């Protein structure tokens, strides 16, 4: 390589690097929020998630639902599209996994005692109801969010969504009581500032 070309590269590269880093790294931040007027078990029936720009390069993390003492644990499992969920049976009795998308059966599989965990990858956004046909009291929900930002609302009514880039999003509150979204509102995440959200459910649903 000629000497002048090498000198030129040396001086240009750091400047280019700065430019690239500066352009791509708008600082991600947390959204912290509160659902007004709900606490305890009522708060724990709510899942919040964002819709909006696709989650670039976000690999879904593994998730699990365990059947223990005739209970699905956790009762509400929010995940992102593409997540493989392992379903384990820790009881010494037969269970089955009957999953519904609306009224349609998504899958229905027996799970004898001491069998290996069953796995299912959830490929569509929406809520999936999980029942065990052997034990009618068993019930759980997998809430499949279209982005990687989701959370169950804590029992004090608060929630937090981490590592959200600047932009405009819709924040959806999904309600187990309705088996549907209860409310959706716009959230603007600005670079640099904390983002706080106050959500108020329609009066008939709080």
Dihedral sign (CA 147, 153, 154, 160): positive
Q: How far apart are CA 126 and CA 106, in angstroms?
A: 12
- Which of 134, 154, 183, 197 binds Cu ion (CB under 5 A)? It is 134
Instruction: Report the residue number, 73 or 181, with the smaller CB distance to Cu ion.
Output: 73
Closer to Cu ion at the Cβ: 60 or 64?
64
We find the least distance from the C-beta atom of residue 138 to Cu ion, in angstroms, to be 5
The closest of 129, 86, 80, 82 to 104, measured between CA atoms, is 129
Would you say 200 and 36 are in contact if contact means Cβ atoms under 8 Å apart? yes
Nearer to Cu ion, 132 or 187 (CB): 132
With CB under 5 A as the contact rule, the residue among 135, 165, 167, 200 that binds Cu ion is: 135
Look at residues 74, 30, 45, 40 and name the one whose alpha carbon lies nearest to residue 173: 45
In eight-state DSSP terms, residue 203 is G
- Structural tokens at position 102: 């609306």
200 touching Cu ion, by CB under 5 A: no
Question: Which CB atom, from 101 or from 139, has the smaller least distance to Cu ion?
Answer: 139
* Binding residues with Cu ion: total (CB under 5 A): 5
CB of 200 to Cu ion, least distance (A): 37
Smaller CB separation from Cu ion, 6 or 92: 92
**Binding pattern for the stretch 76-105 against Cu ion, x by CB under 5 A and - elsewhere:** -------------------x----------
Q: Applying CB under 5 A, does 44 fall inside the site for Cu ion?
A: no
Q: Which span sits near Cu ion by CB under 5 A: 44-52, 124-132, 170-178, 185-193?
A: 124-132
- Per-residue CA distances from 75 to 36, 50, 86, 129, 141 (Å): 22, 21, 14, 10, 6
Residue 118 near Cu ion by CB under 5 A = no
Nearer to Cu ion, 72 or 149 (CB): 72
Contact status: 132 vs Cu ion (CB under 5 A)? yes
Q: How far is the CB of 180 from Cu ion (least distance, A)?
A: 25
Helix, strand, coil share (%) of the chain residues, nearest 5: 15, 50, 40
Q: How wide is the angle at C-alpha 48 spanned by C-alphas 199 and 141, nearest 5°?
A: 135
Q: In this structure, what are the phi and psi dihedrals at residue 154, rounded to the nearest 5 degrees?
A: -70, 165
Write out the residues near Cu ion by the rule CB under 5 A: 95, 132, 134-135, 138
């Amino acid at each position: 390589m000629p000497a002048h070309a090498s000198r030129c590269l040396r001086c240009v590269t750091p400047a280019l690097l700065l430019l690239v880093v500066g352009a791509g790294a708008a600082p991600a931040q947390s959204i912290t929020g509160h659902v007004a007027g709900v606490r305890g078990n009522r708060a724990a029936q709510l899942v919040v998630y964002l819709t909006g720009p696709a989650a670039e390069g976000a690999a879904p993390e593994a998730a699990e639902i365990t059947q223990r003492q005739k209970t699905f644990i956790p009762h509400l499992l929010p995940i992102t599209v593409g997540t493989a969920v392992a379903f384990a049976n820790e009881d010494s009795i037969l269970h089955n996994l009957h999953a519904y998308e609306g009224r349609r059966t998504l899958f229905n599989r027996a799970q004898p005692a001491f069998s290996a965990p069953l796995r299912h990858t959830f490929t569509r956004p929406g809520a999936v109801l999980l029942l065990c046909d052997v034990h009618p009291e068993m019930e759980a929900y997998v809430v499949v969010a279209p982005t990687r930002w989701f959370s169950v609302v804590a029992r004090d009514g608060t929630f937090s969504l981490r590592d959200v880039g600047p932009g405009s999003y819709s924040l959806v509150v999904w309600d187990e009581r309705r088996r549907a979204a209860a409310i959706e509102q716009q959230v603007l995440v600005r670079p640099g500032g904390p983002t706080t959200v106050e959500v108020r459910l329609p009066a008939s649903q709080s």
